[in-house]
Amino acid sequence: MARYTKDEARKWVRETLVGAVNCTIPSFSNDLTRINEAAIRHDTRLAIEHGFVGSLAVSEVSIRLPEYIDFMRFMKAEAGNDLVIVHHASWNTLEQNIEAVQLAEEAGAEFVLLSYPPAFYPESEDDIYDYTRAICDATNLAVMLFPMFLWGFNTRVHPSDIPTSVMRRLIDDCPNVAAIKAEGGFPSIQSVIECHRLFGDEVVISMPIEGELIPLSQVMPLQLSATSDHEYWGPLIPQVMQHLRNGDYDAATEIYWRMHPARKAKGMVAQQMHGGFFINRYVWKFQGWLQGYNGGPLRMPTQRIHDPQMNALRKGLIDAGLSPSMEPFRDFFIGRHPM
């Protein structure tokens, strides 16, 4: 159960989620028949060691709902209260998402990243509002709204993906809407600026893209970076966010430029493999493996990662002065805790 009531959700998020939230992708046995508890616990411990305040339990892989709930239970059992477990509300239908978020609450999740099913085809602001409110009404957990181009709303409803008029209604009507992951109209930064201006006194505004987080945080307060593949950088994102909170902008800027070769490599791989319109979870899992996370196989259907991409991502970290794993790439597909 969450450590707050529904009416306390905004206060709890404001006080608790100060820092960065990474992503934990499920790990499986090597025959892919079951989830791998030891590997999941390993990744949870390392996220805490790296200084993350929370971790998204990624659901956008080939995993059954009961397995996913056990995945979160293992994370919570390992983390206790040292890491906020974030439920990934990214399932097939509204009904399944309501079931999943209620099970996630029982399993120990305390925060929700709200996504939309691929077959959800809203044609009005009301359609987006109704779906989103149904999820918020079904749970006591704090919810983070997520305007994002992946949903496809920008071609029919509004260029910002979820217009601020819809977010205004949801903030007014749902006391557990506690944060906004402000990527609307990506790659524009207008969404995060607009959300901060309109809603920043009421809910927490998150900027998950570190290349924009670091410069923007020097001119506007951003306490949270959630959720993203920050594990690619090991402990660096929590460290740079501490510099930003302390007002040590010179140190944050030095880190920004030091990261730049790896940032460019990461962007090149994303464009090369999927043009930015899909999230390749195998790439994200490999990025984490470079920093000591488990790695390991994912089930079909899944996208793939090949040597050119793996070489580019590792070289980017080396060029940035970091120390990625130099183990053979074959070891990534086995994982650090094979079973």
What is the Cα–Cα distance from 166 to 163, expressed in whole angstroms? 6
Structure tokens at 33: 């028949």
* Residue at 11 is within a domain: yes
Residue 42, domain member (yes or no): yes
State the pairing for strand pair 84-89/54-57.
Answer: parallel
Domain membership of residue 171 (yes or no) is: yes
Residue 51, in any domain of the structure: yes
Residue 277 has a pLDDT of 63
pLDDT of 37: 98
What pLDDT is attached to residue 276? 55
Helix-strand-coil split of the chain, %, nearest 5: 50, 10, 40
Tokens (6 digits) for 227: 């959720």
Query: pLDDT by residue for the chain (339 residues), tens digit each?
Result: 899 999 999 999 999 999 999 999 999 999 999 999 999 999 999 999 999 999 999 999 999 999 999 999 999 999 999 999 999 999 999 999 999 999 999 999 999 999 999 999 999 999 999 999 999 999 999 999 999 999 999 999 999 999 999 999 999 999 999 999 999 998 899 999 999 999 999 999 999 999 999 999 999 999 999 999 999 999 999 999 999 999 999 999 999 999 999 999 999 998 876 655 678 999 999 999 999 999 999 999 999 999 999 999 999 999 999 999 999 999 999 999 999
Instruction: Give the tokens for residue 1.
Output: 């159960």
Query: By three-state DSSP, how is residue 155 classified?
Result: helix
Q: Is residue 32 part of a domain?
A: yes
- Residue 82: the pLDDT is 98
SS3 category, 85: strand
Selection from 192, 270, 274 nearest residue 229 by Cα:
270
The pLDDT of residue 274 = 61
Q: Is residue 276 part of a domain?
A: no
Decide: helix, strand or coil at residue 28. Answer: strand
Token pair for 172: 């007014």
The amino acid sitting at 79 is A
pLDDT for position 215: 97
The total of structural domains in the chain comes to: 1
Domain that holds residue 155: 6-248
To the question of pTM greater than 0.95 for the whole model, the response is: yes
Residue 280 placed within a domain? no
Residue 300 CB neighbours (<10 A)? 8
Q: Is residue 203 part of a domain?
A: yes
Q: CATH code at 192?
A: 3.20.20.70
**What is the predicted pLDDT for the residue at 270?**
87
- What is the phi-psi region of residue 6: left when phi exceeds 0, alpha when psi lies from -120 to 50, beta otherwise? alpha
What is the Rg, in whole angstroms, of the alpha carbon atoms belonging to the chain?
19
Q: Given this model, what pLDDT does residue 271 score?
A: 82
Name the residue type at position 312. Answer: A
Give the model's pLDDT for residue 1. Answer: 83
CA distance 286 to 289: 5
